[in-house]
Amino acid sequence: MSNQQPVDQNTSAREQMWREHAALIDWKNPFTSVLEYGDGARLPPPFARWFVGGTTNLCHNAVDRHLKDRADQPALIWESTEVDVTRTYTYAELHREVVRFAAGMRSLGVRRGDRVLIYLPMIPEAVFAMLACARIGAIHSVVFGGFASMSLAKRIDDAQPRLIVSADAGSRTGKALEYKPLLDAAIELATAKPEHVLLIDRGLAPMTRVAGRDVDWAPLREQHLNADVPVEWLESNEISYILYTSGTTGKPKGVQRDVGGYAVALAASMKHIFYGEAGKTYFSSSDIGWVVGHSYIVYGPLIAGMTTILYEGTPLRPDAGIFWQLVEKHRVKVMFSSPTAIRALKRHDQALLKKYDLSSLRALFLAGEPLDEPTARWISEGLGCPVIDNYWQTETGWPILATPDSPGNASPHYGSAGLPVFGYDVRLVDENTGVEKGINEKGVVTIQPPLPPGCLQTIWGDDKRFVQTYFETIPGQLTYSTFDFGVKDKDGYWFILGRMDDVINVAGHRLGTREIEESICSHAAIAECAVVGVQDALKGQVAVGFAVLKDPTLAVDMAARMALEGEVMSLVHQQLGAIARPARVHFIAALPKTRSGKVLRRSIQAVCESRDPGDLTTIDDASPLDQVKQAHLGA
């Protein structure tokens, strides 16, 4: 492998920095330029290409290259408190399983550039499938197991996968959650049809197979036990994966990522942010369906030569000490979780933290939603190690802001998501004028392009939407908007104040209110509705719907309203999945709207949170807001 790069006389400090980080991974062929952006680039700004001409492979960097020094070191430990199994795969064993999976996928016709949709619970095969795709240059699109058939169908239609990898069922608090019927319904709903469905049969639920389409993994694996599938060397800017995320429309956005830039960004972040250290253990309690799972369960820790823990279970079962039990058992050095998980633990005895030997733990990283100060204090005191908030998005793939851990720092900046991370030119600007904000002034968090390596290249199949959605919202400049409001203090620490669009964050999971509204409106009795995110002590936010009935007499009494509410909530659950199920759906006579007919979601949200609804000069009729208040707060 060559890490030698040609010297470029015009290398800027930024390019020099990334050239150095690029040496953290293996390249088959060296790149010819660190960055292609602006003048002379193949594509106009904001499109950027990193490590142009270099060839590499994510699977090689995550698995194969460690075989020389750490073949017998555990690479992946599967801990399932759902089915009570612990299974360890060394790097050599992981390599074997990935190669078998790659061979199996190839035998089903999957080639470089094909999409493979992975709809799996937290089982080792999910990791094998992702790495196998990376190995052969297929583009994976992992869909979170909590999504149901309609959400899945939208993603199938957008990604048009040749193959879908799925299972009979997941498990939640000991109960099987069937995947296969949801998948079958999704394929039925979708216009694009996969050629094959590859099934992991866990023996948790019966499955009906579609002849000619559905293939069982266990017998296929047997056929490829001794397979040899070499790595496909990909140009750095080829596509590694698509990961769908919610936006403000009902159509999810396929965040598209490259190969080389992503590998370099992960390697650099593991080293300089996450205390990555080959041979040590890393435990992220996220799910492979989310970006944290991609970056910091699978690719990041493995690229760093660590042992990564894949956990199937909840933070509370068998008891609220399970995370710490696993930390002790596996001598975990670095842990990554979410504020919601910690808030759930906070309801239990802090003594559970003291019961285990946590001396191996260097730091706990928390991300995905605002980390409130009491939670940060509680967990940091309980663990006796730094708790590091970090802020990023599916789009960026790795942290934009992170709090540096400075030993001896007596006053950690609780409540702050930290300082800008290397490689990001983060600025706070006025949403209406684009003028940069000063200390303690609220503004939109923006990133000056080119976005650093690892961030999204574009939206899958929709360059125009990529540019318009992210780069054309701040007047007078081409700059990436995170759609988060933030503020910076005099020491340079940043505080994230919440989304400025209709995206909500439930337990760290990002949901588009529009998708939920569409689902509610598909109920025959509903004329129109609005969904907003309302503050919640545990989950950060919950979705609350306000619906107007076609026939108001359907909700004359409490019993009728409750029955209808239950029906609507089940419909959303069935179409989108449990995570999108609203906490409440209230029925009101009309939605609060401006005279031009725009629904005043922000005012609805404010009223639900007992805040001032803001400027109502454009409101058509104030009485619906009173109904919102009455319905939600009973006042």
Secondary structure E strands in 387-491: 387-391, 401-402, 419-420, 426-429, 443-447, 458-459, 480-488
Residue with Cβ nearer ligand AMP (294 or 523): 294
Give me the least distance between CB of 346 and ligand AMP, in Å please: 17
Provide the minimum distance between the beta carbon of 505 and ligand AMP in the complex, in angstroms, as a whole number.
5
| Per-residue x/- track, 284-313, ligand AMP (CB under 6 A) | -------x----------------------
Compare residues 371 and 547 and give the one whose CB is closer to ligand AMP.
Answer: 371
Interface pattern 349-368 for ligand AMP (x via CB under 6 A): ------------------xx
CA dihedral 524, 526, 529, 533 (to 10 degrees): -70
Do 321 and 353 meet the contact criterion of CB atoms below 8 Å apart? Answer: yes
Nearest approach, Cβ of residue 381 and ligand AMP (Å): 20
Token pair 């075989």 in the structure block, residue: 67
Nearer to ligand AMP, 484 or 517 (CB): 484
Among 97, 168, 369, 518, binds ligand AMP (CB under 6 A): 369
x-marked contacts with ligand AMP along 372-391 as a string, rule CB under 6 A? -----------------xxx
Minimum CB–partner distance for residue 395 and ligand AMP (Å): 7
Task: Count other Cβ atoms within 10 Å, centred on residue 522.
Answer: 13
Tell me how crowded residue 548 is: count the other CB atoms within 10 A of its CB. 18
In the complex, minimum distance from the CB of residue 255 to ligand AMP, in angstroms, rounded to a whole number: 8
Least spacing, CB of residue 611 vs ligand AMP, in Å: 18
Work out the angle between the directed axes of helices 149-159 and 558-576 (0-180°, nearest 10): 30
Helical H segments across 365-503, by residue range: 373-383, 463-466
b/e sequence 588-600, b meaning 16+ C-beta within 10 Å: beebbbeeeeebb
Distance (Å, whole) CA 330 – CA 198 = 32
- 527 DSSP 8-state letter: E
- Comparing CB distances to ligand AMP, the nearer of 106 and 272 is 272
The nearest distance, CB 485 to ligand AMP, in angstroms, is 9
What does the per-residue mask of binding to ligand AMP show for 245-264, with x meaning CB under 6 A? x-------------------
Q: Is the dihedral of CA 125, 130, 136, 141 positive or negative?
A: positive
In one letter, which amino acid is 87? R
The only residue of 370, 452, 512, 577 in contact with ligand AMP, by rule CB under 6 A: 370
Q: Specify which residues 586 forms β-bridges with.
A: 546
Give the dihedral of Cα atoms 483, 484, 487, 492; nearest 10 deg: -90
In terms of CB distance, is 5 or 390 closer to ligand AMP?
390
Task: For the CB of residue 76, give the shortest distance to ligand AMP in the complex, in Å.
Answer: 23
CB of 370 to ligand AMP, least distance (A): 4
Q: Smallest gap, in angstroms, from Cβ of residue 254 to ligand AMP? A: 13
Min CB(339)–ligand AMP separation in Å:
8
User: Residue 570 is which amino acid?
Assistant: S
Among residues 36, 214, 484, 518, the one that binds ligand AMP under rule CB under 6 A: 484
Closer residue to ligand AMP, CB minimum distance, 504 or 588: 504
CB–CB of 242/256 below 8 Å?
A: yes
C-beta closer to ligand AMP: residue 323 or 391: 391
Among 457, 482, 513, 627, binds ligand AMP (CB under 6 A): 482
Q: How far are the Cα atoms of 386, 413, 607 from residue 410, in angstroms, in the given order?
A: 11, 10, 39
390: phi then psi, degrees, rounded to nearest 5: -145, 145
In the complex with ligand AMP, which residue's Cβ is closer, 137 or 397? 397
Q: How far is the CB of 269 from ligand AMP (least distance, A)?
A: 14
Q: Which of 273, 417, 487, 555 binds ligand AMP (CB under 6 A)?
A: 417
CB distance 340 to 542 below 8 Å: no
Query: What's the rounded Cα separation, in Å, for the pair 39 and 522?
Result: 49
Any bridge partners for residue 594, and if so which?
Answer: 619
Instruction: Provide the token pair at 453.
Output: 């390596």
Interaction of residue 393 with ligand AMP, rule CB under 6 A? yes
Which among 510, 504, 481 has a CA at the least distance from the CA of 609? 504
Give the other-Cβ count within 10 Å of 411's Cβ. 5
What is the C-alpha separation between 456 and 462, in angstroms, rounded?
A: 12
Q: Count Cα neighbours of 466 within 13 Å in the Cβ-side half-sphere.
A: 20
Q: Which helix (H) or strand (E) holds 279?
A: none
Looking at residues 510 to 539 of the shown chain, list those that interact with ligand AMP (rule: CB under 6 A): 510
CA dihedral 73, 78, 79, 83 (to 10 degrees): -140
Closer to ligand AMP by Cβ: residue 243 or 549: 243
Residue type (1 letter), 440: N
State which residue, 291 or 631, has the beta carbon closest to ligand AMP. Answer: 291
CB of 391 to ligand AMP, least distance (A): 4
Instruction: Provide the mask over 115-154, with x wherever binding to ligand AMP is found by CB under 6 A and - wherever it is not.
Output: ----------------------------------------
Hey, which residues between 178 and 197 contact ligand AMP (CB under 6 A)? Answer: none
* 540 is an interface residue for ligand AMP by CB under 6 A: no
Amino acid at the residue 493: Y
CB of 629 to ligand AMP, least distance (A): 26
How many CA atoms, within 13 angstroms, populate the side-chain half-sphere of residue 35?
A: 26
Q: How far apart are the first and last CA of the chain?
A: 69
Task: Report residue 381: phi and psi, to 5°.
Answer: -65, -40
Closer CB to ligand AMP, 307 or 505, in the complex:
505
Site for ligand AMP in 30-49 (CB under 6 A): none
List the Cα angle 264/282/104 in 5-degree steps.
70
By beta-carbon proximity to ligand AMP, the closer residue of 118 and 547 is 118
Least separation, in Å, of the C-beta of 232 and ligand AMP? 29
Out of 284, 285, 394, 603, the only residue in the binding site for ligand AMP (CB under 6 A) is: 394
* Binding-site size, ligand AMP (CB under 6 A): 20
Nearest approach in angstroms of CB 533 to ligand AMP is 10
Q: Is 502 in the site for ligand AMP (CB under 6 A)?
A: no
Q: Which is nearer to ligand AMP, 265 or 496 (CB)?
A: 496
Which residue reads 């005895």 in tokens? Answer: 349
Q: Scanning residues 47 to 86, which ones bind ligand AMP (CB under 6 A)?
A: none
Which parts of this chain interact with ligand AMP (CB under 6 A)?
245, 291, 367-371, 389-394, 417, 482, 484, 496, 499, 505, 510
